[in-house]
């Protein structure tokens, strides 16, 4: 099992841009940077325009799998030149870290910070608007290529080239497995109980899991 990766890219938004039919401000456009300072709310200076759905302690940092862009390019060749690291608004990029290899609750040391996987990044309509394709969110959900969020356990500085080291894996539930169970039409009681027992899941997703559990019981 691989336990060490490398920070290949860091991204932050210094300003918002208008997006979608109503031209609402969005911070999905990120700029590549060489180093960042991270606190409990994420990268210092990174802008999240809509705090109802983005940012906060449980969504401090967003990582998206580099490998997912190849799948998107295959199915959306007309957008192939746009499927590059950072284009889905992530803060952190590292090859080899995917929904199959990252587990809910995983704790990592990244440069000078310690972070924990808290929840999936739920795809929203802003992705459709940015790429002018109404099918993207459904495709991302169907293939479980959501990306994920971290909470920050220890603040500090990170730079491109820093090591990402797995410190602790409290749960044996990959991000993909978590998503498959959450999205199943008829999940098994055993599978949902396994999610309910997971450590480190954000309160929002814990409520969703417990709601499913109550229905099944």
Mean pLDDT across 187-199: 97
pTM recorded for the entire structure: 0.96
Tell me what pLDDT residue 53 has. 60
Mean of per-residue pLDDT scores for the chain: 94
Q: Tens digit of pLDDT for each residue in 117-145?
A: 999 999 989 999 999 999 999 999 999 99
At 52 the pLDDT is: 64
pLDDT band at 191 (very low <50, low <70, confident <90, very high): very high
Mean pLDDT lowest for which of 18-27, 76-85, 137-146, 194-203?
A: 18-27
Does residue 152 carry a pLDDT above 90? Answer: yes
Give the integer Cα–Cα distance in Å for 109 and 155: 11
What digits encode the pLDDT tens for the residues 2-50?
999 999 999 999 888 878 777 887 889 899 999 999 999 999 999 876 6
pLDDT at 18: 79
pLDDT at site 108: 98
| pLDDT score of 25 | 72
pLDDT-above-70 percentage for the chain: 97
The three-class DSSP label of residue 129 is helix
Starting at the edge strand that comes first in sequence, how are the strands of the sheet with 148-154 ordered? 4-6, 163-168, 107-110, 113-120, 148-154, 61-63, 92-93, 9-12, 31-33
Class of domain 4-171: mainly beta
Average pLDDT over residues 168-182: 98
Nearest-angstrom CA–CA distance, 208 and 45: 31
């Amino acid at each position: 099992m691989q336990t060490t990766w490398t920070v290949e890219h860091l991204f932050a938004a210094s300003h918002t841009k208008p997006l979608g039919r109503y031209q609402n401000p969005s911070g999905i456009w990120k700029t590549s940077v060489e180093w960042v300072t991270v606190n409990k709310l994420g990268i210092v200076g990174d802008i999240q325009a809509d705090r109802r759905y983005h940012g906060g302690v449980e969504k401090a940092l967003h990582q998206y799998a580099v490998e997912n862009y190849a799948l998107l390019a295959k199915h959306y060749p007309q957008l192939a030149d746009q499927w590059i690291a950072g284009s889905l608004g992530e803060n952190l990029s590292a090859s080899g870290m995917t929904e199959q290899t990252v587990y809910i609750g995983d704790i990592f040391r990244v440069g000078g910070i310690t972070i924990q996987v808290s929840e999936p990044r739920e795809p929203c309509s802003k992705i459709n608007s940015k790429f002018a394709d109404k099918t993207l969110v459904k495709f991302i959900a169907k293939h479980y290529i959501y990306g994920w969020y971290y909470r920050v356990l220890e603040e500090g500085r990170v730079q491109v080239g820093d090591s990402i080291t797995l410190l602790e894996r409290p749960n044996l539930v990959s991000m993909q497995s978590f998503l498959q169970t959450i999205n199943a039409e008829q999940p098994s009681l055993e599978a949902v109980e396994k999610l309910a027992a997971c450590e480190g899941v954000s309160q929002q997703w814990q409520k969703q899991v417990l709601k499913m559990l109550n229905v099944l019981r």
